[in-house]
Amino acid sequence: MTNPAEELLDIVDDNDRVIGTALRGEVYRQGLTHRCVFIMVRDPAGRIFVHRRTDTKLFAPGAYDMWVGGVVGSGETYAEAAVREAEEELGVRGIAPRPIFKFLFREPEGGKLSWWCDMYEAEWDGPVSPQESEVAWHAWLTPAELSERLARDTFVPDGLEAYRRYLERQEDQGRPADRAEPASGSA
């Protein structure tokens, strides 16, 4: 596996238009806006794949997340990245993420990092074999179990914001929300 800091990423503006490229390590050092994909994966029972990131991750090492995903490589489409990231992190083949919405994330509390988040959802009914370099722990959690984790564990800030927006969107569309509200002190 190549060094993640050496991945080439597209740099984008506040309208998600490509304005250049840079290595991932440089993107993080300079706080350049780039692109990411997030995929909420559920099993047929509606449980959500939740994991703890490894301690070697460049962003939010050791934090929990209810999304799989990652950066979009230079020249790669969001849809291509969603399939690649879901398959890599889960250790599966043939997953079919469906797009749900997109937003610009800005790191809270004066942070300099920002990225466009293209959100997807997918269902997976087979075994998973998560990528050991990315995932330190994983489980399929009900929304209630996820809510308990949100209240006690540290989750990635972009994942928390994405989940908050996801729940709002569910309610706005008249679909029952998971009710696993992100706790305010979980980031």
State the total domains in the chain. Answer: 1
Q: Tell me, yes or no, whether 180 lies in a domain.
A: no
Q: Tell me, yes or no, whether 183 lies in a domain.
A: no
Quick one: average pLDDT of 48-56? 93
Q: Tell me, yes or no, whether 179 lies in a domain.
A: no
Quick one: average pLDDT of 62-80? 96
pLDDT higher than 60, residue 184? no
Mean pLDDT, the chain, whole residue set: 90
The domain that holds 94 is classified in CATH as 3.90.79.10
Indicate the pLDDT class of residue 177, thresholds 50, 70 and 90: low
- Say what the pLDDT of residue 35 is: 98
Give the range of the structural domain holding residue 30, as residue numbers without chain letter: 4-172
Cα–Cα distance between 83 and 130 in angstroms, integer?
14
pLDDT higher than 60, residue 186? no
Higher pLDDT, 178 or 67: 67
